[in-house]
Amino acid sequence: MSKNIIFITETLFKERTGASTAIDGKQIFPMVKVAQDIYIQPALGSELYKRIQDGIDNDDLNNDEKELLDNYITDALVWFTMSLLPMTMGYQLFSKGFLQKTSEESTPPSQKDLELIEQKYLAYAEYYKTRIIKYLKQNYTKYLEYLNTPYAYDSIFPENKAYTCPIYLGDQREPRYFNNTSAQLTLNVYNYNSVGGESQFTINELIGRQILVASRGGLTKLIITTTTNDTGYLTINNGLIQLPIGDLTEAGELFTFLYK
**Exposed (0-12), middle (13-18) or buried (19+): which is 183, by Cβ within 10 Å?**
exposed
Q: In this predicted structure, what is the pLDDT of residue 200?
A: 95
Residue 183 maps to a domain: no
pLDDT for position 219: 82
With beta carbons less than 8 A apart as the criterion, state whether 157 and 149 touch.
yes
Question: What range defines the domain where residue 229 resides?
Answer: 188-259
In a shared domain, residues 82 and 138: yes
* pLDDT digits (tens), the chain, 260 positions: 456 899 998 889 888 888 877 787 788 888 999 999 999 999 999 999 999 999 999 999 999 999 999 999 999 999 999 998 877 665 554 555 555 555 555 566 677 777 788 888 899 999 999 999 999 988 887 888 887 777 777 888 888 766 655 544 444 444 433 344 444 446 788 999 999 999 999 999 999 998 988 988 878 899 999 999 988 899 999 999 999 999 999 888 889 998 88
Within-domain flag for 5: no
Same domain assignment for residues 98 and 221: no
Residues 222, 120: one domain? Answer: no
Q: Are residues 20 and 139 in the same domain?
A: yes
In a domain, 155, yes or no: no
- Does residue 137 sit in the same domain as residue 195? no
Tens digits of residue pLDDT in 86-97:
776 655 545 555
Tell whether 18 and 140 lie within a shared domain.
yes
The last residue of one of the domains, among 84, 114, 147, is 147
Do residue 15 and residue 113 come from a single domain?
yes
pLDDT of res. 8: 92
- Residues 34, 122, single domain; the answer is yes
Residues 126 and 35 in one domain: yes
Q: Quote the distance between the C-alpha of residue 226 and its chain's center.
A: 30
Digit-coded pLDDT (tens) for 109-145:
677 777 788 888 899 999 999 999 999 988 887 888 8
192 and 112 fall within a common domain: no
- The CA-based angle 6-43-5, given to 5 degrees, is 10
Residue 201 lies in a domain: yes
Residue at 67 is within a domain: yes
Which H or E element spans position 215? strand 211-216
pLDDT at residue 107, rounded to an integer: 60
Q: Which of 88, 114, 147 is the last residue of a domain?
A: 147
Q: Is residue 249 part of a domain?
A: yes
Same domain, 86 and 206: no
Judge whether 181 lies within some domain: no
Q: Which residues are CB-contacts of 215 (< 8 A; sequence separation ≥ 6)?
A: 221, 255, 256, 257
Burial of residue 243 (CB within 10 Å: 0-12, 13-18, 19+) is buried
Q: 96 and 102 in contact (C-beta within 8 Å)?
A: no
Do 124 and 21 fall within a single domain? yes
Count of the separate structural domains present in the chain: 2
Tell me, yes or no, whether 160 lies in a domain.
no
**Model pLDDT, residue 171:** 42
